């Protein structure tokens, strides 16, 4: 599933927020789960981003992943993984804002996959 927005929220405690459309295929599953993962994709994973944005129910077919501490899916070769416990949720407009406390995090030195103004972009330095 892809989200409409993702942001850090607090350093102490470590909190993040994700915004997911009420019409997203995984909306109800996310709200029913106590724990969830955020996989920040690396620049070479555009095809995975497109697959997860599709409503096809077979998103994980042929995709490498492992299970995290709470059995959430952590995608292979991602830039970072965050394992979170849902601590709050708020309906706002046509989205639900989900707040998660980060319980585990991993990061690699890969470049991030960026989505900007309706397309994928590269980070320049």
CATH code, domain with 43: 2.30.110.10
pLDDT confidence tier of residue 78, bands split at 50, 70 and 90: very high
Give this prediction's pTM: 0.89
pLDDT confidence tier of residue 3, bands split at 50, 70 and 90: low
In a domain, 39, yes or no: yes
Number of structural domains (the chain) is 1
Among candidate residues 88, 113, 118, 115, the one with its CA nearest the CA of residue 100: 88
In a domain, 60, yes or no: yes
In a domain, 121, yes or no: no
In a domain, 76, yes or no: yes
**pLDDT of 88:** 96
Domain that holds residue 90: 5-113
């Amino acid at each position: 599933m892809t989200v409409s927005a993702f942001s850090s929220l607090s350093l102490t405690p470590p909190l993040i927020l994700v915004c997911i459309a009420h019409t997203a295929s995984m909306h109800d599953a996310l709200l029913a789960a106590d724990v969830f993962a955020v996989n920040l994709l690396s620049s070479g994973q555009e095809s995975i981003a497109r697959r997860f944005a599709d409503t096809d129910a077979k998103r994980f077919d042929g995709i490498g992943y492992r299970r995290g501490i709470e059995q959430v899916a952590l995608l292979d070769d991602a830039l970072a993984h965050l394992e979170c416990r849902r601590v709050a949720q708020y309906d706002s407009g046509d989205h639900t804002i989900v707040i998660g406390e980060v319980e585990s995090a991993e990061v690699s030195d890969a470049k991030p996959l960026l989505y900007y103004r309706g397309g994928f972009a590269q980070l320049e330095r």
